[in-house]
């Protein structure tokens, strides 16, 4: 209704031109560059320069212009600016899910660091579907993203092709593989999980189980499971005996998986979860089943998000330096955008946080 009316108001162009009028707004409602120029008595080019490269305008003029900008509350039209400048100072990211907090901390840091450099973040979600990721990448590019952050390495080749063809810089995060050519700021999921699993077997556990996110199109999930298997092999445990349940990251899914695991014939003494969300669900299920954690069964997480400390017992988990990862990824992007050479990349360090959900196996 209101928005409809606005269209009918837009008639000034047919009204007598009053160049000297002090009416500050253009007819569309939003003041434009031209409004500012007129009011300040300069050309639009000068106004533009005041906003984008202030030192190319003499101080007296600049002050006058900025005063007008402030007075009429001018904000440059983003679309027009993007169109003309072919640059938006916007960085896009496609995360697999917004449903839980796994990406929150890292993204927050990513955004903060980008903001520090004058960039804005655009977030899209792929729901763990490769086609949707492709679509979101296109959308982000259409929206003018100057660069992209993507999670993990594995995706449709087309995504990489498009990015390369358009010359859009990108960084991969949340994962790191030795020898991967794409610029990545992340950690080695396999090594991290292997370290934890090794600790678990070191405690004497021989009957392990894993609750993982679906591995099909998720290299991080797959690597984590591989890490468990690595440790099992080292400990002489037959990996065929390690049950792996796949289920999307959600507390209730973790709980359901745990129930299945504990209703089976040979109950595991330790359940390694693909992340903290699943682990929290597992703990809740165990509690509901009347099992003590870690007395009757040990449970571990991955990520070390806030909830890991809230649950009782608090989770022994792998701490991922999400904030650092987000910050570095942002710095990397800024460097790519500025053409600053970036040094060699090293994986981030993760470490085990010993809390109480993991203990020796019951006898």
Partner DNA sequence: GCGTTAAATGTAAGCGCTTACATTTTTTCA
Partner DNA sequence: TGAAAAAATGTAAGCGCTTACATTTAACGC
Residues contributing to the site for a copy of itself (CB under 8 A): 1-7, 9, 25, 28-30, 73, 75-83, 86-88, 98-99, 101, 104, 108, 123, 138-139, 141-144, 146-147, 158, 162, 165-169, 251, 280, 284, 306-307, 310-312, 336-337, 339
Closer by beta carbon to DNA, 26 or else 335 = 26
Candidate residues 22, 58, 266, 343; the one interacting with DNA per rule CB under 7 A: 58
Do the beta carbons of residue 91 and residue 114 sit within 8 Å? yes
Q: How far is CA 241 from CA 210, 222, 257, 275, 292, in A?
A: 11, 18, 17, 21, 23
Chain position carrying tokens 């101080």 = 59
Q: Which does 143 bind (CB under 5 to 8 A by kind): a copy of itself, DNA, none?
A: a copy of itself
Shortest distance (Å) from residue 228 CB to DNA: 47
52 binds DNA (CB under 7 A): yes
Looking at residues 20 to 49 of the shown chain, list those that interact with DNA (rule: CB under 7 A). Answer: 26, 28, 30, 32-34, 41-46, 48-49
Closer by beta carbon to a copy of itself, 29 or else 54 = 29
Q: How many CA atoms lie within 13 A of 81 on its CB side?
A: 15
Candidate residues 39, 74, 211, 282; the one interacting with DNA per rule CB under 7 A: 74
Do the beta carbons of residue 126 and residue 94 sit within 8 Å? yes
Angle, helices 59-72 vs 33-40, to 10°: value is 120
Which residues are bridge partners to 185 per DSSP?
A: 173
Token pair belonging to 111 = 């955004």
E strand or H helix at 170, and its extent?
Answer: strand 170-173
Candidate residues 1, 2, 5, 7; the one interacting with DNA per rule CB under 7 A: 7
Of 74, 262, 87, nearest to 166 (Cα)? 87
For the chain, how far is it from start to end, CA to CA, in angstroms? Answer: 72
Q: Which does 45 bind (CB under 5 to 8 A by kind): a copy of itself, DNA, none?
A: DNA
Could you tell me whether strands 351-353 and 317-319 are parallel, antiparallel, or unpaired per DSSP bridges? Answer: antiparallel
Q: Which does 61 bind (CB under 5 to 8 A by kind): a copy of itself, DNA, none?
A: DNA
How many Cβ atoms sit within 10 Å of the Cβ of residue 8?
7
Shortest distance (Å) from residue 348 CB to a copy of itself: 23
Distance CA(317)–CA(88), nearest Å, equals 39
Q: CA 17, 19, 25 angle in degrees (round to 5)? A: 90
Shortest distance (Å) from residue 213 CB to DNA: 36
Shortest distance (Å) from residue 89 CB to DNA: 10
Shortest distance (Å) from residue 241 CB to a copy of itself: 31
Shortest distance (Å) from residue 38 CB to a copy of itself: 18
**Interacting residue ranges for DNA, rule: CB under 7 A:** 7, 10, 13, 26, 28, 30, 32-34, 41-46, 48-49, 51-52, 56-58, 60-62, 74, 76-77, 80-81, 83-87
């Amino acid at each position: 209704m209101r928005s409809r009316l606005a269209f009918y108001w837009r008639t000034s162009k047919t009204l007598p031109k009053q160049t000297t009028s002090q009416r500050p707004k253009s007819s569309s409602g939003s003041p434009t560059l031209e409004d500012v120029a007129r009011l300040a008595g300069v050309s639009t080019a000068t106004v533009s320069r005041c906003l984008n490269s202030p030192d190319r305008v003499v101080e007296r003029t600049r002050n006058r212009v900025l005063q007008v900008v402030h007075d009429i509350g001018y904000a440059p039209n983003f679309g027009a600016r993007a169109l003309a400048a072919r640059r938006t100072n916007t960085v896009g990211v496609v995360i697999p899910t917004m449903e839980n907090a796994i990406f929150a901390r890292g993204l927050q840091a990513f955004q903060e660091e980008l903001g520090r450099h004058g960039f804005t973040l655009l977030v899209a979600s792929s729901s763990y579907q490769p086609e949707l990721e492709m679509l979101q990448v296109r959308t982000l590019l259409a929206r003018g993203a100057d660069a992209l952050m993507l999670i993990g390495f594995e995706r449709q080749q087309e995504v990489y092709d498009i990015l390369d063809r358009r010359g859009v810089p990108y960084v991969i995060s949340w994962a790191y593989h030795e020898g991967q050519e794409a610029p990545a700021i992340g950690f080695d999921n396999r090594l991290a999980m292997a370290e934890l699993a090794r600790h678990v077997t070191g405690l004497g556990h021989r009957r392990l189980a894993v609750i993982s996110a679906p591995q099909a199109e998720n290299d991080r999930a797959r690597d984590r499971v591989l890490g468990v298997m690595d440790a099992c092999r080292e400990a002489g445990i037959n990996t065929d005996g390690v049950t792996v349940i796949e289920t999307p990251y959600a507390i209730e899914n973790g709980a359901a998986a745990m129930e299945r695991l504990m209703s089976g014939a040979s109950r595991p003494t330790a359940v390694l979860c693909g992340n903290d969300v699943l682990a929290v669900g597992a703990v809740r299920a165990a509690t509901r089943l009347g099992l003590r954690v870690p007395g009757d069964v040990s449970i571990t997480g991955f990520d070390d998000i806030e909830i890991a400390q809230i649950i009782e017992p608090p989770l022994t988990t792998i701490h991922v330096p999400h904030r650092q990862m987000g910050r570095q990824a942002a710095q990397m992007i800024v460097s790519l955008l500025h053409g600053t050479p970036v040094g060699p990349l090293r994986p981030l360090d993760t470490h085990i946080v010993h809390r109480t959900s993991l203990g020796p196996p019951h006898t």
